[in-house]
Structure 1
């Protein structure tokens, strides 16, 4: 089911898993980059391809998307989680209602902390699901990736909100 010709995990000598040893990934990336720059005749990807593979495996959301593709699951529409959606909308509303710069900083920090906690819970669930990539687990992983995407969007909004408010100070 896995396509070895396009498998970033194999390129870096890592197990195909959601759990990645980022220190080992960075170490292998540096070694392969040095080899690729020293000898372009080597049968390893070019530096830009290595960079893309490295960035894919380094970021948990991008890694999860990549794993789904490796297992033949294209990321379409997810079933979503209504409770999570409501919670995210409430967090966004929290940010919109704050006008005092000091309170804004506290509200953004609170929202970012909440989003980080939610991301950590989802990442732990993804790790478990990808350990046994059955059809049911991949379907659940697909839905969790959509939830992580939404959290990432909320995080960007919160950080942008903080940047805009800091510009007014």
Structure 2
């Protein structure tokens, strides 16, 4: 796995200096721009294109808190998570997921825009709470627990996306 922090010469830290990240991204992309390699041989052009792709991938990873956390976990444990084969073992959270899904379905069926907005705010607050807890686990090198928080955040991201789709349908009608 490529170290996205190394690409931008940033410390491996969950709390990210986004200004430094953006500045370094622009500088790297400027240096790797195809115009700079117009007279270079094909090998150098391919290498610049490959490096540009690495920079874009690293930026995507660092800007996304879940991907950034998983990168930090992988760098510290040497283990890459397979999100496709994962399911949370936290029964209480599984029950919470079911409850949220049912609540969203009810709100959609009732076409209750105000209650849907309140629900969306609650989920956003839950996301912030989990991000704080994730940051704490990463800082404390509690990798197994950090992985569990990443799993929960992935679920909540999907739920948030579904809430947005429901909002679009309700507010368009």
Which TM class, normalised by the smaller chain length?
Answer: 0.7 to 0.9
Q: Do the aligned residues in 1 keep the contact of 2:70 with 2:150 (CA within 8 Å)?
A: yes
1:128 and 2:158 equivalent?
Answer: no
- Work out the CA distance in 1 between the residues paired with 2:31 and 2:101: 46
| Higher-Rg member (1/2) | 2
1:95 alignment counterpart: 104
Give the C-alpha shift of residue 68 in structure 1: 2.3
Q: Do the aligned residues in 1 keep the contact of 2:88 with 2:94 (CA within 8 Å)?
A: no
- Name the stretch that deviates more: 35-44 or 123-132: 35-44
1:39-118 equivalences under 5 Å are: 39-40=36-37, 46-71=51-76, 72-76=78-82, 77=86, 79-98=88-107, 99-101=109-111, 103=112, 105-118=113-126
- Work out the CA distance in 2 between the residues paired with 1:30 and 1:140: 35
User: 7, 14, 32: which one pairs with 1:11?
Assistant: 7
- Work out the CA distance in 1 between the residues paired with 2:69 and 2:120: 21
RMSD: 2.3
74 and 26 in structure 1: CA distance in 2 versus 1, 3 angstrom threshold: same
* 4+ long deviations beyond 6 Å: none
Q: For this pair of structures, how many residues does the alignment match? A: 159
Q: Do the aligned residues in 2 keep the contact of 1:80 with 1:147 (CA within 8 Å)?
A: no
Give the C-alpha shift of residue 63 in structure 1: 1.0
1:138 alignment counterpart: 143
